[in-house]
Amino acid sequence: MSEETKSVQLPDPAKLVVSNSPHMRDKPTIARIMYTVIGALLPGCAMAIVFFGLAALEVLAVCVFSCVLIEEGWNKLMKRSSTWKDGSAILTGLLLGMNLNAGTPWWICILGGFLAIILGKQLYGGLGYNPFNPVLVARVGLLIGFPGIMTTWDKPDMWHMGIDGVTAATPLGLAPGETFVKDMLLGNVGGCLGETSAIALMVGGAILIAFKLIKWEVPLMFIGTVFAITGVAHLLNPEVYHSPFVHVFSGGLLLGAFFMATDMVTSPMTHKGAWIFGFGCGLITSLIRLWGAYPEGVSFAILFMNALTPLIDRVTISKPFGYVAPVKGEA
């Protein structure tokens, strides 16, 4: 060896890390996924604030802060490390706010945050282990506990900051013929914060699909099934049943189909499963809307399908590449 090569610097073997392959990792992390979903939800939030004013902002803010604080409090209590930075509690809070009415009292928001974070998520072991969508657990809990508060909706009043106490019914509660699809597309209708602007929610949904954060089969089947079933009902008896467009653009359907049913933790992992899951959600929603006791059925439908998710995952296990069916009679 010449003198020149002797002076070459070489790695210090003691500092080499030994680990299993692969030695490269893709960029997405849980936090990145959560914040992208939050970003996709922001157009909807913005439209809610446009139509319901500062009251909407207040509901969203109280929900987000209570979810984050409750999660951190639980982590402290359980001596776990902090998790709020992964964005999942923020997302839960934001979605909870979108499921509430602009005039919801602050203590209902905090109670909702408690139900979502503790009852919906942490009691099962935290992120990734909850069988039901935490936000919907909270929403349904509140709906049963406080039916009055949860089914009173403020009338949207664009740019008018503050609530004037006038309430309006959700389009699904009105008689057919009283509703206008154009108002629903923009969000100029009564309802929860996230039940208003269809366009903003669809923009968010498009972002989620483009970033491959949700399985497009779920919203397609969910919305498609509701459209088909309510469409048939409308054709048979337009006096009693709303047009399918009203059904698609009203209530929590778009929020549910794009943001809630597609929750990764509580929906099937395979694409085949996503078809079944979306169809089930759509079917149950339509049945409740058309013939159930409640005017809205999205939450119940999704929760019910959440319960079926492990089963769906089990029956949709794919055959591996090169699968050969075992010959009968062998082993």
The pair phi, psi for residue 30, each rounded to 5°, is -55, -45
326 binds another protein (CB under 8 A): no
Cα–Cα distance measured from residue 299 to residue 282, given in angstroms and rounded to the nearest whole number: 11
Among residues 218 and 229, whose Cβ is nearest to another protein?
218
DSSP state letter for 248:
H
82 binds another protein (CB under 8 A): no
Strand 153-154 to 167-168 pairing = antiparallel
Among residues 148 and 322, whose Cβ is nearest to another protein?
322
Token couple for 155: 């009338």
Q: Of the candidates 3, 10, 159, 327, which one interacts with another protein according to CB under 8 A?
A: 10
**In the window 93-152, what residues touch another protein (CB under 8 A)?**
125-129
Q: Of the candidates 320, 327, 329, 330, which one interacts with another protein according to CB under 8 A?
A: 320
319 binds another protein (CB under 8 A): yes
Token couple for 163: 């609530």
318 binds another protein (CB under 8 A): yes
Task: In angstroms, give the least distance from the CB of 313 to another protein.
Answer: 7
Q: How many residues bind another protein (CB under 8 A)?
A: 49
Site string for another protein, 245-274 (x = CB under 8 A): -------------------xxxx-xxx---
Cα–Cα distance measured from residue 151 to residue 129, given in angstroms and rounded to the nearest whole number: 31
Among residues 124 and 146, whose Cβ is nearest to another protein?
124
Task: In angstroms, give the least distance from the CB of 204 to another protein.
Answer: 18
> Amino acid letter at 282?
G
17 binds another protein (CB under 8 A): yes
Task: In angstroms, give the least distance from the CB of 270 to another protein.
Answer: 6
Beta strands in 114-223 (DSSP E): 153-154, 167-168
Among residues 175 and 307, whose Cβ is nearest to another protein?
307
Please state, in angstroms and as integers, the Cα–Cα distance from residue 224 to each residue in 37, 104, 216, 253, following that order. Answer: 23, 32, 12, 11
Task: In angstroms, give the least distance from the CB of 296 to another protein.
Answer: 27
3-state secondary structure of 167: strand
Cα–Cα distance measured from residue 216 to residue 212, given in angstroms and rounded to the nearest whole number: 8
328 binds another protein (CB under 8 A): no
- What are 154's strand-pairing partners? 167
Site string for another protein, 204-233 (x = CB under 8 A): ---------x-x------------------
- Nearest by Cα to 195 from 284, 102, 317, 61: 102
| Spatial contact of 208 and 37, defined as CB atoms under 8 Å apart | yes
| Spatial contact of 281 and 261, defined as CB atoms under 8 Å apart | yes
Residues that bind another protein (CB under 8 A): 1, 5, 8-13, 15-26, 28-30, 32-33, 86, 125-129, 213, 215, 264-267, 269-271, 313, 317-324
